[in-house]
Amino acid sequence: MNRAARNPFLWLLLLLLSVVFLGPLVVMTLTSFKTTGESQAVPPTIWPGEWTSRAYDVLLSSPDNPVLRWFANSMIAATAHALLVVLVASMAGYAFARMEFKGKGALFAVVLSTMFVPGFIFLMPNFLILDSFGWLDTLLAIVVPGAAGAFGVFFMRQFFLSLPKEYEESARIDGAGPFTTFFRVVLPNAMPAMVTLLVLSFLTNWNDFVWPLYVLFNDTSLTLPIGLTKLQGAYTIDYPIIMAGAVIASLPVLLLYAFVQRYVIDGVASSGVKG
Amino acid sequence: MPRGAPRGADRRTGSPLVPYLFLAPYLVLFVTFVAVPAVFGLWISLHDWDYMLDSQIFVGLGNYADLFDSTSVIYPDFWNGMQNTLIFTLASVPFLVVLPLLLAMLLHQKFPGRTFFRAMFFAPYVLGVAVIGLMWRYLLDANFGLVNSALGTEIAWTTSQPWAWVGLVAVTVWWTMGFNAIIYLAGLGDIPVEHYEAASLDGANWWQKFVYVTLPGLRPVLVFIVVITVLASANMLGQSYIITQGGPTQSTQTAIMVITELGLSRFQMGAAAAESYLLALFLAVVSILNFWLMRDRDAAAQRRLVRDQRRTVREQPEVVAR
């Protein structure tokens, strides 16, 4: 064992930080199983004195707040968005990494520069563009516009640059065309990068707040984060119900994260170092 | 062979159209939802654009002039929002630059379970602002919140100042510091171990190693962190929207809240677009300033590091520990 691992202060600090970072999530979950009265107790309790699933029962049977519908909306939108991003960003990233064409340098510079353009300048024009497409208040508004972001293209290009060219060259010698080479040979070797981008895109879309807040209107078309703000308005200080909604919105992303945390963290890490 | 005949590139890819076919799906999206809106947004900002009306009145730079005219209707809200965004950015960025670095240095130590702890400290960032906002709204409740109970205080975190800002900054630091820490951690991993070993041989203590090896080695990462953290803080909306609802008395209503409220709730899109472009201009200037201020010293630090290393090799210990 090395020196750091034998330092008791290190472990004390780690324990303290664990409570700070995870404690609020634990309290949120425990509160969702409390009675309304206990959730407002002074001083507050942490462990529920009386366990009840009332919050979930109310929430899942409320016709005004179709939580399951919101859940489905979020799931469909985030999945479709992530798949779209991976497809278009892989193809474009591959072209930028491996092909020569007129205006490549300038085009890549333009695409890359938009990574530093703050997203809020697109709010008004994209609202009107989506309106003209008839996409307002539909999931298309959540799925498609975000896929125009430059991060995925940049991320996939970086990966393809690091990929050895031998596979593609031997495929070409075997007579494969560029599309066959790409889909049959290159993409199967790009799985780690594709999974990372898929997960990051899913998480971002699942959590997106400002855009869906203004382009979705009807109760049945909301995504979960926007539905949660509606719960806040409907139940004000009935916190077990609001926390139950938050738990339902957290569960898929926390589960996904638990299984693929290495991909998520590697993706985030690479965004800085090579950026 | 005719001029411009296929050379290496085309032999590899077949038709010269192929690269464009690979780019097409992305470029359609890019043109529709990034390139066109960037220009269309400017066009909107030159109109008295009301979504509810059929025809829009061209007003030239009128909307921009209104933003600098203290008697105009949109002036007070906009500059209140700008001021609030500035307060939030100035208050949150130092914490979000320093604390994640400390966390990253802690996680850079070698101890069993570090991958597990790294994943755990990043976990809040995986959750959306709606979830963490509602969760902290409850924890910060003045009457039955756990924060007051734990601290033994009776602070109205969401309805009084400066506590509303303290709460919003603390929640944001808690939520996003894992993200910055991960980027720092990757940067720490890229600093060659030999630099630390050389410093140790020279008798440098941990502080000297931090100042002369870690910080110069992290300089590019540090620039990146400062720039993206400023941008992220300037984009703040969700935390205020959910935890304080912009209150007390609009004191936490951020610029983005003002813009979205004006443009997408009250549909005065011309004025809101002008506000968004002005804010973007401010941010562009700040980002360029950040890059410029930090890049200059970056190059100098690199040169100094190389020089120091050369001298270290020539066994002049006091140079590193200067």
Domain boundaries in chain A? Answer: 32-273
What's the CA gap between B137 and B142, in Å, rounded? 10
Q: What is the pLDDT of residues B264-280, one digit of tens each?
A: 999 999 999 999 999 99
Count CA atoms closer than 13 A to B313's CA, side-chain side: 6
* Placement of tokens 């935390």 in the chain: B239
Minimal C-alpha gap between A187 and chain B (Å) = 13
Q: For chain B, what percent of residues have pLDDT higher than 90?
A: 71
From chain B, pick out residues whose CB is under 8 angstroms from the CB of A255: none
Q: Nearest-CA distance from B62 to chain A in Å?
A: 18
Give me the mean pLDDT over the A265-275 stretch.
69
Backbone angles phi, psi at A49, to 5 degrees: -70, -35
Q: Which is nearest to B309 in space by CA: B202, B210, B208, B158?
A: B202
Q: How far is the C-alpha of B104 from the C-alpha of B99, rounded, in Å?
A: 9
What torsion, rounded to 10 degrees, do the Cα atoms B295, B297, B299, B305 define? -140
Question: A4 CB near a chain B CB, below 8 Å?
Answer: yes
Q: Do A225 and B128 touch (CB under 8 A)?
A: yes
Q: What H or E segment, with its residue span, contains residue B47? A: strand B47-48
SS3 at position A21:
helix
pLDDT (tens digit, 9 = 90+) per residue, B64-96?
999 999 999 999 999 999 999 999 999 999 999
Q: Does residue B318 surpass a pLDDT of 60?
A: no
Nearest CA in chain A to B136: A24
B47 within 8 A of B57, measured Cβ to Cβ: yes
**pLDDT tens figures, A71-110:** 999 999 999 999 999 999 999 999 999 999 999 999 999 9
CB contact under 8 A, A254 and B122: no
CA-CA distance, A209 to A223, in Å (whole number)? 9
Please answer whether residues B92 and B142 qualify as being in contact, where contact means their C-beta atoms are separated by less than 8 angstroms: no
What do you get for the CA distance between the two ends of chain B, in Å? 65
Q: Is A207 helix (H, G, I), strand (E, B) or coil?
A: helix
| Cβ <8 Å between B33 and A177 | no
The partner residues of B47 in beta bridges, in order of sequence, read: B58
User: Any chain B CB within 8 A of the CB of A255?
Assistant: no
Decide if B269 and A127 are in contact by the 8 Å CB cutoff: yes
- The average confidence (pLDDT) of chain B is 88
Q: Closest residue of A to B228, CA-based?
A: A116
The two beta strands, B57-58 and B47-48, are antiparallel
DSSP secondary structure of A24-65: HHHHHHHHTTS-HHHHT-SSPPSS-SS---HHHHHHHT-SSS
pLDDT for A87 equals: 97
Q: Which of A125, A126, A178 comes nearest B18 by C-beta?
A: A178
Structural domains in chain B plus CATH codes: 8-64 (no CATH), 72-319 (1.10.3720.10)
How many CB pairs lie under 8 A apart between chains A and B?
286
pLDDT tens per residue, range A154-210? 999 999 999 988 888 888 888 888 889 999 999 999 999 999 999 999 999 999 999
In the structure encoding, which two tokens stand for residue A172, read together? 């070409």
User: CA separation (Å) from A65 to A62, A138, A234?
Assistant: 5, 18, 9
Using a CB-CB cut-off of 8 Å, the residues of chain B touching A178 are: 13-14, 18, 22
Q: Scanning every residue of chain A, which has its alpha carbon at the shortest distance from the alpha carbon of B30? A: A148
Looking at beta carbons, which residues of chain B come within 8 Å of A46?
Answer: 146
Helices A224-235 & A67-98 angle (0-180, nearest 10): 150
- Residue B317's pLDDT is 39
CATH superfamily of A32-273: MetI-like (1.10.3720.10)
Q: How far is B3 from chain A (nearest CA, A)?
A: 15
Provide mean pLDDT across the span A215-228: 95
Residue B4 — very low, low, confident or very high, per pLDDT cuts 50/70/90? Answer: very low
Q: Per-residue confidence at B287, pLDDT binned at 50, 70, 90?
A: confident
Q: Measure CB to CB from residue B144 to each of A41, A107, A150 and give the nearest one.
A: A41
Q: Which of B59, B244, B102, B79 lies closest to B160, judged by CA?
A: B244
CA distance B314 to chain A (A): 30
Percent of chain A with pLDDT over 70: 98
**How far off is chain A from B321, nearest CA to CA, in Å?**
24
The whole-angstrom separation of Cα A95 and Cα A82 is 20
Q: Do A214 and B264 touch (CB under 8 A)?
A: yes
User: Which among B14, B40, B130 has the least Cβ separation from residue A225?
Assistant: B130
Chain centre to alpha carbon of residue B23:
29
Q: Answer whether A273 sits within 8 Å of B221, measured CB to CB.
A: yes
B177 vs B30: CA distance, rounded Å: 31
- Give contacts of A 80-139 with B, CB under 8 A: 87-89, 91-92, 94-95, 98-101, 104, 107, 110-111, 114, 116-129, 131
The alpha-carbon gap from A239 to the nearest alpha carbon of chain B, in Å, equals 7
Which tokens sit at B219? Answer: 């300089």
Put simply, the answer to whether A246 touches B135 (Cβ < 8 Å) is: yes
The span from the CA of A246 to the CA of B128, in Å, is: 10
Q: Which residues pair with B50 in a beta bridge?
A: B268
CB contact under 8 A, A225 and B9: no
- In this structure, what token pair is assigned to residue A236? 């004000």
ipTM score of complex? 0.92
